[in-house]
Amino acid sequence: MPVPPWNDEEIRSHARALGLETGVDLVAGLAGGIPLVAACLARALLSGVPAEAPGAVADRALRELSRRLARERAASRARDVLDSLAVVGHGDEELLGELVEGPRGQGWFSALADLSLVTTTTSGLAVAEPFRTLLDLSYRWRRPVAHQVALTRAAARNRRLLDSARGGARRPLTEHALFLTGHPLLRETLFPPGAEGFGVRRATPRDHDRIGELVRQWAARRGVATARCERLLDGWLTSTADGFHLVCGPDDRPLGMTYTPRITDEALGVIEPLTQQHTTRMLGGGVFTGMAVCEHPGAHAALLRHIVAEGISGGRLVISTPSPQYQDLVQAFGFDYWGDTRHDPYDCGRASKLYHERFTWEGIPAWLDKVAALTSPRQDEPDRRWWTRAVRQALEHLRDDTGLARNPLLAVTLDPTPQGLRSQLVSSIRDLAEHEDPVLSQCGRILRAYYLRGHQEHHAVARQLHLSRATYFRRLDRGLAWLTQHLLSRDEPE
């Protein structure tokens, strides 16, 4: 019997009825409207796992859920692959085969597809929400380096597919690239639990009353002047009604809307209150977004992904928004900031900020590189020694694909495969050995003699290079530090 998901308040009440007092919001956010999952999460919190560690909460809840999954014949053999699939969002047989080392037996991909938690997509398999989020949180908490390596390898493969894709095939690859950044803001906003089952369509005249209702509800909740919003809405519906898009649930009832018209001479006249002194910069076509209204997180995510897709298909996206939350999101997308409006267009106490980004099919990979750079965590100096140990371990296993496949350096390697890491290490050492600075060149010759040529002990290499023991080990440490910085920053160290 199909059971509709519970709303967040019903899930909160369920958790409180089980005796939970703190962490109720975490349960509501992770349960995906499923009472069984909510009960498992509540019991994890009641056992003493702190709500401040959602990965640990998810891990404890999954113990109970996994016992139920174990009734399925293929489940015990599929857990490692299931974890990796949850981390990367969706994947085909080739990608999952690269991510999970070791034998899996014949027909493993088909067995994975048969699991009740796994769904089929146009891009392979995916874990159904909210189980994907729980598995992802647990894996990130248990194996943070392996988690980052999986994301990096999947992102590199997605990039290769994106470079050769054409037309409509680029949209799912672009969305997946945004998912694979792993950035919390992009994940929470664009890919929250429960974001499936929503579609976006262009509004028709019969939807105009519902659009007005959504805007009035939004204005009342946000403290925005309703009369001002209705005046703006009247102008938009009169001149650019085809710019309205609605996000709907399975019953086709609109849950949210966006005003995202194509930038034409006619549109410029009615969007001027939102662009003001920047209106002339809008010439040249593209797509404009002046409003996005939706309270349901899953539907909101579908609406925002649609706006990005519209901007890409239109060649340019211009956004005007007074919302600090939307401003943070647009900045995470790397859009250029144009400036503020002179006057508050919504009478909400804040001027709108304008942003824009140009898109070409050839330029989408470069834009995604910019997003990835903006959302990647910076390597702080205290972590440097940890990464240097990873470099040393990689050099010690330079001819061992299995050892290199487990090395955290795959997360920062241009080609995140054992062969790619080996090639980059060898090339960097050769560059260092040919450095114009004689001391750095000597460091490179030490690394080349000891790690690349191999089969020599440290004292033999020191004798060969006519160095004292103390000088040799100082140069060795400096070479490893240089190599670490070179791999992490891809810039030559000072």
Q: Which residues contact 258 (CB under 8 A, 6 or more apart)?
A: 244, 245, 247, 289, 291, 292, 293, 303, 306, 307
Report the pLDDT averaged over residues 158-178: 84
The answer to whether residue 151 is domain-embedded is no
State the alpha helices, DSSP H only, in 202-264.
208-222, 226-239
The answer to whether residue 84 is domain-embedded is yes
Report the pLDDT averaged over residues 411-416: 76
d(CA 339, CA 483): 42
Tell me if residue 197 falls in helix, strand or coil. Answer: coil
Residues 91 and 116 in one domain: yes
CA dihedral angle for residue 376, residue 486, residue 387, residue 157, rounded to 10 degrees: 50
d(CA 452, CA 472): 17
Q: Which of 238-242, 329-333, 451-455 has the lowest mean pLDDT?
A: 451-455
Question: In the block, which residue shows the tokens 């062969």?
Answer: 419
Q: Which residues contact 70 (CB under 8 A, 6 or more apart)?
A: 76
Residues 321 and 420 in one domain: no
pLDDT category of residue 14 using cuts at 50, 70 and 90: very high
Residues 356 and 403 in one domain: no
- Answer with the one of 143, 160, 186 that is the final residue of a domain: 143
Residues 260 and 363 in one domain: yes
The answer to whether residue 175 is domain-embedded is no
pLDDT category of residue 285 using cuts at 50, 70 and 90: confident
- According to the model, what pLDDT value does residue 133 have? 92
- 489 CB-side CA count, 13 A: 14
Report the pLDDT averaged over residues 362-388: 68
Examine the pLDDT at 494 and tell me if it is beyond 50. Answer: no
- According to the model, what pLDDT value does residue 380 have? 45
Residues 362 and 438 in one domain: no
Q: Can you read off the two tokens belonging to residue 228?
A: 């001002």
- According to the model, what pLDDT value does residue 114 have? 87
Q: Where are the beta strands (DSSP E) in 128-269?
A: 199-202, 244-248, 254-259
Calculate what percentage of the chain has a pLDDT beyond 90.
36
Bridge partner residues of 202 (DSSP): 245
- According to the model, what pLDDT value does residue 379 have? 46
Q: Can you read off the two tokens belonging to residue 426?
A: 């060898």
Q: Can you read off the two tokens belonging to residue 112?
A: 């994975």
The answer to whether residue 96 is domain-embedded is yes
CATH classification at residue 285: 3.40.630.30
The domain containing residue 461 runs over which residues?
381-489
Question: In the block, which residue shows the tokens 């009615």?
Answer: 270
pLDDT in tens, 207-216: 999 999 999 9
- Give, for 187, the enclosing helix (H) or strand (E): helix 184-190
- According to the model, what pLDDT value does residue 408 have? 78
Examine the pLDDT at 359 and tell me if it is beyond 60. Answer: yes
- According to the model, what pLDDT value does residue 10 have? 94
Mean per-residue pLDDT of the chain: 86
CA 83 to chain centre: 17
pLDDT in tens, 39-93: 999 999 999 999 999 999 999 999 988 887 777 756 556 778 899 999 999 999 9
d(CA 372, CA 365): 10
Q: Can you read off the two tokens belonging to residue 273?
A: 């209150």
- According to the model, what pLDDT value does residue 15 have? 95
CA dihedral angle for residue 315, residue 353, residue 240, residue 266, rounded to 10 degrees: -80
Residues 139 and 228 in one domain: no
- According to the model, what pLDDT value does residue 416 have? 80
d(CA 207, CA 368): 35
The answer to whether residue 301 is domain-embedded is yes
Examine the pLDDT at 378 and tell me if it is beyond 60. Answer: no
CA dihedral angle for residue 62, residue 64, residue 70, residue 76, rounded to 10 degrees: 40
pLDDT category of residue 103 using cuts at 50, 70 and 90: low
Residues 328 and 391 in one domain: no
Residues 131 and 48 in one domain: yes
Q: Can you read off the two tokens belonging to residue 155?
A: 């992102």
Examine the pLDDT at 377 and tell me if it is beyond 60. Answer: no
Q: Can you read off the two tokens belonging to residue 450?
A: 């000891």
- According to the model, what pLDDT value does residue 455 have? 55
CA pseudo-torsion sign 338, 343, 345, 350 = positive
Q: Which of 238-242, 313-317, 362-366, 475-479 has the lowest mean pLDDT?
A: 362-366
Residues 386 and 326 in one domain: no
The answer to whether residue 165 is domain-embedded is no
Q: Give me Rg for the CA atoms of the chain.
A: 27
Residues 463 and 398 in one domain: yes
- According to the model, what pLDDT value does residue 384 have? 67
pLDDT category of residue 298 using cuts at 50, 70 and 90: confident
- According to the model, what pLDDT value does residue 364 have? 81
Q: Which of 193-197, 348-352, 378-382 has the lowest mean pLDDT?
A: 378-382
Residues 280 and 385 in one domain: no
- Answer with the one of 113, 143, 173 that is the final residue of a domain: 143
Report the pLDDT averaged over residues 248-268: 90
The answer to whether residue 180 is domain-embedded is no
Spatial strand order of the sheet with 118-121 comes to: 90-91, 124-127, 118-121
Q: Can you read off the two tokens belonging to residue 8?
A: 């967040």
**Number of independent structural domains in the chain:** 3
Residues 220 and 339 in one domain: yes
Q: Which of 236, 256, 248 is nearest to 201 (CA)?
A: 248
The answer to whether residue 177 is domain-embedded is no
Examine the pLDDT at 491 and tell me if it is beyond 60. Answer: no
- According to the model, what pLDDT value does residue 163 have? 79
pTM of the model: 0.72
- Answer with the one of 126, 143, 160 that is the final residue of a domain: 143
